[in-house]
Structures are given as structure tokens and as C-alpha cells.
Amino acid sequence: MKQLMLGNKAVARGLYEAGCCFASSYPGTPSTEVTEELAKYDEVYCEWAPNEKVAMEGAFGASLAGYRSFCAMKHVGLNVAADPLYTMSYTGVNAGLVIVVADDAGMHSSQNEQDSRHHAIAAKLPMLEPSDSAEALEFTKLAYEISEKFDTPVLLKMCTRVAHSQSVVDPGERSVPVKSYEKNIAKYVMMPGNAKKRHPIVEERTRLLKEFAETSSVNRVEMGGTQLGIITSSTSYQYVTEVFGDSVSILKIGMANPLPDKLILDFASKVDRLVVVEELDPVMENHCKALGLDVQGKDILPIIGEFSQNLIAKALGAEGKKGITLNETLPMRPPVMCPGCPHRGLFYTLKKLGCTVLGDIGCYTLGAVAPLASMEMTLCMGASISALHGFNKMGGEESEKHTVCVIGDSTFMHSGMTGLANVAYNQSNSTVIILDNSITGMTGHQQNPTTGYNIKGDPAGKINLEALCRAMGYNRVAVVDPYDLKACETVIKEELQAAEPSVIISRRPCALLKYVKRKPALRVDTDKCIGCKSCMKIGCPAISIKNGKARVDETLCVGCGVCTQMCRPGALASTGKEES
């Protein structure tokens, strides 16, 4: 029966129908829901891996064992998994192996705007690119066919607008093809002698995939008016269709790599003017130029950010639409740490102590935002610890006494452990703070190796952070409650002064977790409030100043009590009303 389905859920449905048996992923917006939705099917083994490299290698092993396998990640996650990816291109697969990579043009929830198509080209792997949920389902199944027919992992490229849009799909049935494992050292042991023999196979495979791309329905021509011909893919195809309907001709590319040369040349010969409409980098455009075509692209369309129908209309000379303008400068509404967020107290303390804070990827990156504004660097998953090491090695004692790094529990398991090993091994006197909120927060609450539960919510192995740090050689491992500002201050001061590296675990579960009980909202005693604005220093969205006095929004406040520790007159108190 036809139903509305999120793009990511449609991929999960496609995986289910294609007989996928194993999925291992690390969450990352906008890819997370694929694996979450797949985990709802009992027939498929699903797990959260500590990082994308581990996930991809797990999926490779499952494919080797003869089962259709899968992993998903965001664009930057594919960098982490690039090592196995590039050599899996040489080994090929046994049972089909599909990898979702989700790009984030516009950087809704990412640290860069890289275009994953470059990875497909560099690793010499086929990449499919759906433009809506129906194609997400269909292309996922097709990806398994291509994977097994051409003996290759297949990349399925999503983007925010395809991943997080719902459109109509018509689900089908599941069938499970299983192969058996056969020992094949020449194929699966990639040492120089064997790899040298595999490389020509990869090049021949690319030639065959190109032939496939020329005739497969995954790429299609929609002839309309011939004054303008547009080569496009993914969500850009939808915008082009919206603006031009059949007044133009469209070559819709569903297979981003390898591209079909003959199809492109044939299409170009039928239209007067050729334009490539693609978000981010000019990948198809450069390909067309290499084919000797006179083509427009990034000369009229931006290389930065997302497209939309108006943007494309205006770039191509059609009329954009205009709405109602309000003659007023409105305050922006950037994302903020939630009321009751355990990170708030810790960041407040770091700011108070004047610490230099090197940060990492997660909700706590919001520690860089005013009024806390106490994080000074964020690069990629795990970089806080490794960078702190380098920073302190060069900064010496002066640096060591006021510099810390902060990293979440999930990010620490992802790629913080190796940095921590480097600090222990090469001995910088660094102070590492693990913000343990007992969940992977930013991506919407996924379990991880420190939480004790698996993707299905069942009990699982639980890594003890304190024991892990001690085993690495850290003698100083402190645990502190970030709601207790005094304790935070004492511990941070102590560890910064200590003559050896230390780890502080700031531990309190995310305030949004269902099992975390909300305390009654606080209320301001306006007789006691002197309007000093001390409570405003923690940047809690539930507190504001109205008529010179603090005011607490009872619909937002969760009663964490951090603000009460800022209030000298004692004007902030509990309302005593329990949230139902």
C-alpha cells in the first residue's frame, strides 16, 4: 500500500526487501534514521559501531560470510571509513555490500560541506543518487544487484533533502539471497602481490560499469523543449522539474559514478544550451567539460549551500517568487543548549576559570555560543584530545595549567581513545574532560559502548570509562556532577595543577532522556531578585529579564538548579509543581 515515507526510512525498507541481513553504522545527521528504521525489522541484525571505520569493516566481514550487508554514515564519516573503503574496491565483495553516505549541503548539522562524489571517483566505486523516497527504496535494491553483478561495494548517496523528506513509496516483499563463504587468498588478502593483480580488475570493472550506466534506467532522459537542456541529479532534479516542467529537456543522472559519456554526448547534441544543475562541487560539469562540451554550471549557480526552486529559476533567467517583507530586524534564533543540559554547568565553570577549551563534535559544540562562548576549537570527531596534546607540547607548563579539552562519551569511543593513548604514551600534561551524558545526544539519542544498551534497547556490553582510562596509565581520573558548580570548579582547578595527565569525567544523563525525571520548574521571588543578571551568565533559554527582574519560563524549566547556585539573594526557588 502506498504510504508517505521519510527518505531514510525508504532506504531501510529497500534494505529489508533486498534481504540485507547485517547493518553496522555510526549515527550522523542526516544518515541516522536509516539504521534506526532498519533496526525495527527483527529479521535484520543491526548495531551501532563505535565509529564508521569499524562499521564498514563489520559490514565487509558480513559480506565475506555470504550475507548482504550494509553501513550508513554522514559525509564526514566516510572520511573515517575511507581506509577500508578504498581497498574494498580492490577485494570486491562476496554477498552484496551497500554503503549509505549522506551529504549535508547547507550544513544544517555538519562541520563542513564536502561532496562525497569525490570519494566514489577516487575509490573507483559505483555511486547511486536517489532524488526522492521512491527512488531511495528502488536504488537501494538496485545497489545490491550492482554490487553482486560487478563484485563491488556500492555507495548510495543521500543528501539532507532526500534523507529528511517524506514522499510516496509503494513497499514490496522481502527475499533473502545468501551465498557461502569460500577461501580466496588472492582476492581477499590485499598485500602487494595480490593487490597488483586486483587493480586491473578494478579498472575493467569501471569500464563495465560505464557500459551499464549508458543503458540502465537508473539514468534517464526526459525530452521536452530543446532550447535548454539540463543535466541534474538528486534533489536538484526536483527543483528543476518544479521550475521548468517539460519546457526543458532533462538528463537525470541516478548513477553519479561512473558517468555515462555517450548518453551525455547524445543528450548535449539534442539541445541548444546545456546547463549542469548540481549542488556543491562541479563534478558532472567538469566531466562534461572533459568530454569537450560547452556547458554552464558553477558560472551561474553557487558552489556553496543548498539550491531551491527560486534560486534555480533566477540563475536560469526564469522569474523567482516574492513574499511579504516585514520592515524589521528580527533577533536570530540559533540553536542553544537545552534547559537542564548537563554541559551548561561545566562550560560555565570553564569560562569562570578562564580556561582555553579545545572542543569536539556533539551538542556541547554549542559551548562555543554566547553567552558561554568558552570553546575555542572544533575540527572533527576526536580531534580535541589529539590537538590538546600538540597544543600543550608546544605551549609547555603555562599552557598545561589553563588548557583543557572536552569530548562527549560517544565521540570519545568513536575516536577519542587513540588521542588519549597518545597523551598517555607521549606524556603531555593534559587535562581531558569527558562529557558523559550517557547517550549520543546530537543525533537524537543513540546508544553507544558506554551506555550498556544496544540499538534495540536491550542490555549490552558496557565499557567503564574510569577503568579504561586507568588501564591506559592515567592515575588521576575524577568524576564530577556538572550540576554541582562548586565541585566542578574544585576538580578542574586540581587537575590543571596536577603534575601529570588527568581525565575528568563530567557525568550526568542528557536532560531529554525519557528516564530522566524533571524536577518542578523554578520560580523567581521578585521581592528578593535584585536584577543583578548573574543567572543570565549560564545562557539558559528558560531564564530572561522582564522589567528588571529575572523571569523563569515554567514551560521550559526542568528545575536543574544550576541557576540557583548563581543567585546570591536566593531569589530562585522551586514552584513545587510536578510535571505530569
Partner 1 sequence: MDTKNIMIVGVGGQGSLLASKLLGYLLLNEGYDVKVSEVHGMSQRGGSVVTYVRYGSRVASPVIDEGEADFIVSFELLEAARWLPFLKPDGQVVTNIQQIDPMPVVTGAMEYPEDLVRKMRDAGAKVDAMDCVALAQEAGTVKAVNLVLLGRLSHYFDFPDEVWQKAIEACVPQKFLELNRKAFELGKKA
Binder to partner 1 among 61, 302, 305, 335 (CB under 8 A)? Answer: 335
Distance of alpha carbon 480 from alpha carbon 488, whole angstroms: 6
The answer to whether 295 contacts partner 1 (rule: CB under 8 A) is no
Question: At closest approach, how far in Å is the CB of 323 from partner 1?
Answer: 4
Phi-psi region of 44 (alpha: psi -120 to 50; beta: other; left: phi over 0): beta
Binder to partner 1 among 115, 132, 148, 409 (CB under 8 A)? Answer: 132
Our CB check for partner 1 shows the closer of 18 and 248 to be 248
Report residue 183 as a C-alpha cell: 577461501
Binder to partner 1 among 114, 147, 235, 386 (CB under 8 A)? Answer: 235
Binder to partner 1 among 61, 305, 396, 444 (CB under 8 A)? Answer: 444
Q: Which of 552, 558, 565 is nearest to 523 (CA)?
A: 552
Distance of alpha carbon 550 from alpha carbon 401, whole angstroms: 36
Our CB check for partner 1 shows the closer of 201 and 530 to be 530
User: By the 8 A CB rule, do 196 and 41 touch?
Assistant: no
- SS3 call for 243: helix
Question: At closest approach, how far in Å is the CB of 397 from partner 1?
Answer: 35
The answer to whether 1 contacts partner 1 (rule: CB under 8 A) is no
User: By the 8 A CB rule, do 33 and 8 touch?
Assistant: yes
Alpha carbon distance, N-terminus to C-terminus of the chain: 38
Residue 219 CB burial class (10 angstroms; 0-12, 13-18, ≥19): buried
Q: Which own/partner contact pairs does 302-307 have at CB distance under 8 Å and 24+ positions apart?
A: 304/113, 305/105, 305/106, 305/113, 306/105, 306/106, 306/160, 306/161, 306/279, 307/105, 307/235, 307/236, 307/239, 307/277, 307/279
The answer to whether 534 contacts partner 1 (rule: CB under 8 A) is no
- Binding characters for partner 1, 366-405, by CB under 8 A (x = yes): x--xxx----------------------------------
Query: Where in 58-77 is the site for partner 1 (CB under 8 A)?
Result: none
Question: Could you tell me which residues come within 8 angstroms of residue 150 by beta carbon, excluding any fewer than 6 positions away?
Answer: 126, 205, 208, 209, 212
Our CB check for partner 1 shows the closer of 23 and 159 to be 159
Q: Which stretch binds partner 1 (CB under 8 A): 64-72, 164-172, 198-206, 382-390?
A: 164-172
The answer to whether 514 contacts partner 1 (rule: CB under 8 A) is no
The answer to whether 486 contacts partner 1 (rule: CB under 8 A) is no
Distance of alpha carbon 26 from alpha carbon 366, whole angstroms: 21
The answer to whether 98 contacts partner 1 (rule: CB under 8 A) is no
The answer to whether 30 contacts partner 1 (rule: CB under 8 A) is yes
Residues found near partner 1 in the complex (CB under 8 A): 2-4, 6, 29-30, 32-33, 108-109, 132, 160-162, 164-168, 235, 238-239, 241-242, 308-311, 320-328, 330-338, 363, 365-366, 369-371, 442-444, 533, 536, 539-541, 543-545, 553, 555-556, 580
